[in-house]
Amino acid sequence: MEIKKEFSPTDLRYLKLLSKQYPNINSASTEIINLQAILNLPKGTEHFVSDIHGEYDSFNHVLKNASGVIKNQITAIFGSNMREAEKKSLATLIYYPERKLERIKKEEKDLADWYRITLNRLVKICKVLSSKYTRSKVRKALPQEFSYILEELIHEDGSGEDKQLYYQQIIETIISLDQADRFIISISNLIQRLAIDQLHVIGDVYDRGPKAAKIMDLLQNYHCVDIQWGNHDLSWMGAAAGCQALICNVVRISARYANLDTIEEDYGINLIPLATFAAEKYADDPCVDFMPKVPEGEITTKDAVFIAKMHKAISIMQFKAEGKIIQRNKDFKMEDRLLLDKIDFEKGTIMLDGNEYVLNDTNFPTVDPKDPYAFSPEEAFVMDKIKSSFVNSDKLQSHMRFLYSNGSLYKKFNSNLMFHGCMPMEEDGTLKKVKMWGKWLSGMELFDAVDRTIREAYFNKPHSERKRACMDVVWYLWCGENSPLFGKKKMATFERYFLDDKETHKEERCPYYRLRNDENVCNMILEDFGMNPENSHIINGHVPVKVVKGESPIKANGKLFVIDGGFARAYQKETGIAGYTLIYNSHGLVLVSHEPFESLEKAIDEEKDIHSSTVALQYSHERIRIMNTDIGTELKESIKELTKLLDAYQIGIIKEQK
């Protein structure tokens, strides 16, 4: 006689809850069959990008072409049956269907024939891209207005003369009813959607470039995205939480790159009080070292001078706000960054590390030598107004909440450990222990504590002491030596503005940036995060890869990838390229480098795609299937639980329902 299976009280409670979703043997069995089948599908394509820095046009194009995935699919599907010029034209149509259709309709003589050929080609691409997904997942991705028609065209093989006539009649009817344009736009967007299953942003959406808010709008509407916070993202998150020093920092960097429109136009933050204050206090100050860093001719000289005054005013306010944080947080050990009290205002010099330096700018109209870190009454007024605008900007707060809900300090996914910056380490290659909230932490424990603190800084009760303490830590994470988001001994902002001696500008990197070239060190980090070093990788951003100087984005024998290659125009002179992206599909990892994106007009008019080159390949000997992924692990666990439920039904412990 067979012994009945036994279930613990906890098992039974869980299974009873599960039975509400699967109320009988048939429904549980059907789901097990479905999940077992999904496990054998190829894994979806993951797309990794980093350090976008407000460069919307370049980023948007890389998303649309999926770092070359779509063009590669066109080549694989049509091969020599299509001319290169036709492939380029078809790819451009998929990327920018509305704009490309406008041009084609002006140039094409036999539009009906063009529609017929193009629609068949687009359906063929859709069939190939949808083949790695379940029908249910594809159905959810279909545009509502053409969902039935697309499902018919994509999922049927069309074998047999009657079926062929049926499908061709669908296409002919689309054309005859003048619906071809709308259908092409829908199916092109669907192709973009199916080309990438998941997008990973390894930090730094914000600063330098002009359209960070537009990028955030795009990410909010993307079908599946996660973000590993970068130091510049964190600065905005802290500013949105109300940290005065980081509010100043955000405004300062925006002024430095003449991107104040992001603050004023996109987020509706009122900078008039700052502009009025700066124009009055620095009226006769040329603010030479505060002139915005923009290409010549991009803004007028008058605007540049006006922005420079705002830039200097907010910088001084930042040094004061930072000084207050340092003074009330002795455990930060950042007293060496208290610099305003080291100035000899009569001599125009400053003492740093026992050396006296001549300041290149001695106009400090708001600094009281007796209390250099106190805001003047005018500065306090400006700060209150700007802070109120930051914490009450609906759009800014919406974007920041998205960063919190879809982001984290690090992510472990499909054998990849993703984090933006660095791992605090000792010179000997061991993980550095950092004191946080009274505990000495390192590695994953430190990252988890930092992640929780960043969330507390935003979500804790307003005006509470704990919230202020957490906001101070967030500021430290922007520029502190032991921050996993900074990775340098100091941030020499003051020195770069006020001292000509470039030796004082140097910011020494932490040991991680040297040690991450060592495969054993990378393996040790992966093990600390509970990952198998034999088949796992680390993916970083943060520090631009200087390709022009021979630096490689691949470290530690392919164990670590750095994908910050210079999306930001400000970095492209020193990197020599316009960014790296990483593709991880069912065949393996592909690292891609990109040349600068010229313009949207050239991309459409001249069909100029970003020229991308495959830098490295790590192909899998066997095709990677969902069963080999993190999602596969979850599905196997679900199968295990459903099998228990099935057993419970079969032996009568849980009753079937209709």
**Residue 566's pLDDT band (cuts 50, 70, 90):** low
Helix 244-256 to helix 465-479 angle, to the nearest 10 degrees? Answer: 30
The beta strands (E) that lie in 54-206 are given as 198-201
Cβ-contact 585, 45 below 8 angstroms = yes
- 499 vs 547, residue with greater confidence: 499
Residue 289 pLDDT: 94
The whole-number average pLDDT for the span 185-190 is 95
Residue 569 pLDDT: 64
Residue 547 pLDDT: 65
DSSP helix/strand/coil, 410? strand
Residue 165 pLDDT: 85
- Alpha helices, DSSP H only, in 426-464? 443-459
**Residue 3's pLDDT band (cuts 50, 70, 90):** very low
Helix 394-406 to helix 443-459 angle, to the nearest 10 degrees? Answer: 150
**Residue 607's pLDDT band (cuts 50, 70, 90):** low
Q: Is the pLDDT of residue 565 over 60?
A: no
Q: Look at residues 536, 546, 554 and name the one whose alpha carbon lies nearest to residue 592.
A: 554
DSSP 480-507: -TT-TTT-BS---HHHHHH---GGGG--
**Residue 1's pLDDT band (cuts 50, 70, 90):** very low
Instruction: Give the whole-angstrom CA distance, residue 207 versus residue 341.
Output: 30
Instruction: Give the whole-angstrom CA distance, residue 449 versus residue 452.
Output: 5
Q: In this predicted model, what pLDDT tens digit does every residue of 313-358 receive, in sequence order?
A: 999 999 999 999 999 999 999 999 999 999 999 999 999 989 999 9
**Identity of the amino acid at 182:** R
Q: Look at residues 139, 367, 368, 383 and name the one whose alpha carbon lies nearest to residue 244.
A: 383
Q: In this predicted model, what pLDDT tens digit does every residue of 247-276 receive, in sequence order?
A: 999 999 999 999 999 999 999 999 999 999
Cβ-contact 485, 229 below 8 angstroms = yes
Instruction: Give the whole-angstrom CA distance, residue 521 versus residue 641.
Output: 38
Cβ-contact 358, 329 below 8 angstroms = no
**Residue 184's pLDDT band (cuts 50, 70, 90):** very high
> Which one-letter DSSP state was computed for residue 337?
G
Instruction: Give the whole-angstrom CA distance, residue 658 versus residue 27.
Output: 10
Cβ-contact 93, 119 below 8 angstroms = no
User: Whole-number mean pLDDT of the chain?
Assistant: 91
Instruction: Give the whole-angstrom CA distance, residue 563 versus residue 478.
Output: 20
Instruction: Give the whole-angstrom CA distance, residue 113 versus residue 132.
Output: 31
**Residue 37's pLDDT band (cuts 50, 70, 90):** very high
Q: Look at residues 408, 409, 417 and name the one whose alpha carbon lies nearest to residue 524.
A: 417
Residue 226 pLDDT: 97
Q: In this predicted model, what pLDDT tens digit does every residue of 42-54 receive, in sequence order?
A: 999 999 999 999 9
Q: Look at residues 263, 225, 387 and name the one whose alpha carbon lies nearest to residue 317.
A: 387
Residue 7 pLDDT: 83
**For the purposes of burial, counting CB atoms within 10 Å of the CB of 356, is it exposed (0-12), middle (13-18) or buried (19 or more)?**
exposed
Cβ-contact 244, 387 below 8 angstroms = yes
The whole-number average pLDDT for the span 272-293 is 95
Which residues have CB under 8 Å from 636's CB, separation 6+?
A: 39, 627
Percent with pLDDT over 70 in the chain: 93
Instruction: Give the whole-angstrom CA distance, residue 553 versus residue 591.
Output: 9
Q: Across the strands, what pairs with 49?
A: 201
Residue 573 pLDDT: 60
Rg over alpha carbons for the chain, rounded to the nearest Å, is 28
The whole-number average pLDDT for the span 648-654 is 90
- Interior angle at CA 373, CA 370 and CA 378, nearest 5: 95
**Identity of the amino acid at 464:** S
Domain ranges of the chain: 9-41+630-649, 46-202+541-624
Which residues have CB under 8 Å from 9's CB, separation 6+?
A: none
**Identity of the amino acid at 614:** T
Q: Across the strands, what pairs with 538?
A: 417, 560
Residue 598 pLDDT: 65
Q: Is the pLDDT of residue 385 over 90?
A: yes
- 294 vs 312, residue with greater confidence: 312
Residue 160 pLDDT: 61
Q: How far is CA 73 from CA 121, 194, 226, 567, in A?
A: 12, 12, 25, 25
84-88, 287-291, 460-464, 541-545: lowest mean pLDDT where?
Answer: 541-545
| Neighbour tally for 365: CB within 10 Å | 14
Q: In this predicted model, what pLDDT tens digit does every residue of 99-109 receive, in sequence order?
A: 999 999 988 88
Instruction: Give the whole-angstrom CA distance, residue 150 versus residue 130.
Output: 11
Q: Is the pLDDT of residue 608 over 70?
A: no
Cβ-contact 498, 319 below 8 angstroms = no
Token reading at 198: 């998941």
Residue 580 pLDDT: 80
**Residue 581's pLDDT band (cuts 50, 70, 90):** confident
- Alpha helices, DSSP H only, in 500-562? 512-515, 519-528
Q: How far apart are the first and last CA of the chain?
A: 30
What's the residue count for the chain?
658
Q: Which uninterrupted H or E stretch holds 121?
A: helix 111-130
Q: How far is CA 1 from CA 4, 6, 644, in A?
A: 9, 15, 20
Q: In this predicted model, what pLDDT tens digit does every residue of 124-156 receive, in sequence order?
A: 999 999 988 988 889 898 988 888 888 888 876
pTM of the full structure = 0.92
Cβ-contact 512, 423 below 8 angstroms = yes
Side-chain-side CA neighbours of residue 173 (13 Å)? 7
Cβ-contact 420, 230 below 8 angstroms = yes
Q: How far is CA 28 from CA 16, 163, 164, 641, 647, in A?
A: 13, 35, 38, 10, 10
Instruction: Give the whole-angstrom CA distance, residue 182 versus residue 178.
Output: 9
Q: Look at residues 545, 585, 542, 540 and name the one whose alpha carbon lies nearest to residue 559.
A: 540
Residue 306 pLDDT: 95
Q: In this predicted model, what pLDDT tens digit does every residue of 216-230 receive, in sequence order?
A: 999 999 999 999 999
**Residue 611's pLDDT band (cuts 50, 70, 90):** low
Residue 30 pLDDT: 94
DSSP helix/strand/coil, 419? strand
